[in-house]
Amino acid sequence: MADAKVIPFDDDRSRGAAAQRPQRRRSAGNRRKGDPAAVREVQPLPSREIPQDDVPVTPEEKPQAAPGEGGGLERRIAGGLAFLRRRLTGEYEVDDFGYDEELTDQVLMSLLRPVYEKYFRVEVKGIENIPSEGGALIVANHSGTLPLDGLMMQVAVHDNHPAGRHLRLLAADLVFVLPVINELARKAGHTLACAEDAERLLERGELVGVMPEGFKGIGKPFSERYKLQRFGRGGFVSTALRAGTPIIPCSIVGAEEIYPMIGNAKTLARLLGFPYFPITPTFPWLGPLGAIPLPAKWTIQFGEPILTDGYPPEAAEDPMLMFNLTDQVREQIQHTLYKLLVQRRSVFF
């Protein structure tokens, strides 16, 4: 709002005019008969400045909007329509694994981002340990009853890395037999957790994520939270050695509390063909509402990479080397988890 302009009274002019007036005036009663009535000189009113806000402004003098201010909405609408046109006409690309980069960027990431930023309020550390280009294998702990930790890790890499890299996750067989979930996982760039697919992605310079604990980690009871399970037989180490790519340990804190698993209905799990059927303080007691995760605050920390390009080609067949590297990765993740838990002020804040 423009500041109000104070119009000054002309005190000096008023005093000067008073000094020029005669000191004695003849009253109307003393006027001689027949004299005309005295006519007083009319003083002009002080001129009033027109405030700047009232001055008309020509179109040329109006401030011009910045180039990007006015057309933001129009550009978004045009971009959305162009996206729909490409979807309908099939003018988009997918790779050999079914990965649709445009759909992932414009739709899937947009759906996950509010959960990542507003609900779980994920804090990311050590993003500089992920290379800007070339293949790398990110190895993380697995927890949370449902595999939301992998999705949050994918958003963390894409949104925080300077190169905006995409993380290609290696998922369990169950993911690719579920309707809808199967198609979405493929479109988001994820693939089956097998050595062949992992090697192909790494050799193409992709960033690959794996959670070696599998169902043992994600389906463990709440009483064993943040205690890493067995990392399998070290297949991920063999894959990294063959591709000559670095291994980046990743520690995730916060996922254990979103669905505190206090029981496992094993009979029901066998009937449904699931590896476990979780019982939490809210599920299945609250029905569909029990499937809403608790709003725990997350921290994802990427550790220093473990280089593998210095090993000879036959190192991938050395069981002792694979055991040692697997144990090194596991211990580094476990140590970081304990450190993050000590630093955490609260589960939810």
Q: What is the pLDDT along the chain (349 residues), one digit of tens a residue?
A: 444 444 343 444 444 444 444 444 444 444 444 444 444 554 554 555 444 444 454 544 544 545 444 567 888 888 888 888 888 888 889 999 999 999 999 999 999 999 999 999 999 999 999 999 999 999 999 999 999 999 999 999 999 999 999 999 999 999 999 999 999 999 999 999 999 999 999 999 999 999 999 999 999 999 999 999 999 888 999 999 999 999 999 999 999 999 999 999 999 999 999 999 999 999 999 999 999 999 999 999 999 999 999 999 899 999 999 999 999 999 999 999 999 999 999 999 9
Residues ≥6 apart with Cβ < 8 Å to 252: 140, 141, 143, 149, 152, 153, 298, 299, 300
pLDDT of residue 9: 39
With respect to residue 220, please indicate whether it lies within any of the assigned structural domains: yes
Report yes or no on 263 lying in a domain.
Answer: no
| Alpha-carbon torsion angle 86, 90, 95, 101, nearest 10 | 20
pLDDT of res. 39: 46
**3-class SS at 167?**
strand
278 found inside a domain: no
Are 329 and 247 in contact by the 8 Å Cβ rule? The answer is: yes
The whole domain housing 187 covers 94-258+293-343
DSSP class of 190: -
Evaluate whether residue 309 is within a structural domain: yes
Q: Does residue 65 form part of some domain?
A: no
| Omega before 284 within 30 of 0, i.e. cis | yes
What are the distances in angstroms from CA 121 to CA 110, 296, 307?
Answer: 15, 8, 31
Residue 201 lies in a domain: yes
What is this structure's pTM? 0.78
Give the strand pairing for 167-171 and 247-253.
unpaired
Which two three-digit tokens encode residue 157? Answer: 């890499």
Would you say 26 and 38 are in contact if contact means Cβ atoms under 8 Å apart? yes
Q: What is the pLDDT of residue 200?
A: 96
The string over 249-288, giving b where at least 16 C-beta atoms fall within 10 Å of a residue's C-beta and e elsewhere, is: bbbbbbbbbbbbbeebeeeeeeeeeeebbbbbebbeeeee
CB 147 within 8 A of CB 208: no
- Domain membership of residue 9 (yes or no) is no
User: Domain total for the chain?
Assistant: 1
Separation between Cα atoms, residue 112 and residue 167, nearest integer Å:
14
3-state secondary structure of 271: helix
Cα(2)–Cα(51) distance, integer angstroms: 10
Structural domain contains residue 129: yes
Q: Where are the alpha helices (DSSP H) in the chain?
A: 11-20, 72-89, 101-103, 109-114, 148-160, 181-187, 195-203, 215-218, 235-243, 266-272, 319-343
CATH number at residue 308: 3.40.1130.10
